[in-house]
C-alpha cells in the first residue's frame, strides 16, 4: 500500500478479479480417494483461498475462489483431484494495489 499502512491478505485478494465459469468447474474431486488417502484433509489445510471445505464427510469445492496456484495438486494423491486451468476467459486476474 502506498500510504504506509500494512495490507492484509484479504485486502489484497479483494483487488483481484474473478471471471466465474458458471457452467463448468475446473476442479473435480474423487470423494472416495480424497477420504481414503487423506487428500481431503490436506487440500483443505493448504489452499490459501479456502476453496475446499468438508461437510458430512464430503469435500465441497468453491472453485470460483481459486487463485490457480497449484498448491492443492502438490499435496493430493494422484487421481484424488482433477485440476485444470479454467477455460479461456475465465479464472482469476491479479492486480497490484
Ligand atoms: Fe486452492 Fe491454489 Fe488449489 Fe486453487 S490451485 S484450489 S487456490 S490450492
CA distance 28 to 95: 27
Domain span at residue 50 reads 24-86
What confidence tens digit (pLDDT) does each residue in 43-94 have?
A: 999 999 999 999 999 999 999 999 999 999 999 999 999 999 999 999 999 8
pTM of the model: 0.86
pLDDT of residue 5: 66
Q: Is 83 helix (H, G, I), strand (E, B) or coil?
A: strand
Q: How many separate domains does the chain show?
A: 1
Cα–Cα distance between 15 and 33 in angstroms, integer? 35
Structural domain contains residue 1: no
**How is residue 44 written as a grid cell?**
483443505
With respect to residue 51, please indicate whether it lies within any of the assigned structural domains: yes
Q: Is residue 76 in some structural domain?
A: yes
Among 61, 70, 94, the mutation site with the greatest number of ligand 1 atoms within 8 A of its Cβ is 70
In a domain, 4, yes or no: no
Tell me which residue has its CA closest to atom 4 in ligand 1: 66
List pLDDT tens digits, range 4-57: 567 787 787 788 899 999 999 999 999 999 999 999 999 999 999 999 999 999
Per DSSP (E only), the strands in the chain are 17-19, 27-29, 52-55, 58-61, 81-83, 91-93
The CATH number assigned to the domain holding 58 equals 3.30.70.20
| Residue 3 resides in a domain | no
Amino acid at each position: 500500500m502506498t500510504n504506509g499502512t500494512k495490507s492484509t491478505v484479504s485486502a489484497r485478494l479483494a483487488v483481484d478479479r474473478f471471471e466465474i465459469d458458471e457452467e463448468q468447474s475446473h476442479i473435480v474431486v474423487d470423494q472416495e480417494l480424497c477420504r481414503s488417502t487423506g487428500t481431503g484433509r490436506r487440500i483443505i489445510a493448504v489452499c490459501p483461498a479456502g476453496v475446499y471445505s468438508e461437510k458430512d464427510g464430503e469435500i465441497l469445492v468453491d472453485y470460483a475462489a481459486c487463485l490457480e496456484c497449484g498448491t492443492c495438486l502438490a499435496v493430493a494423491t494422484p487421481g484424488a483431484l482433477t485440476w485444470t486451468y479454467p477455460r479461456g476467459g475465465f479464472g482469476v486476474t491479479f492486480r497490484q494495489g
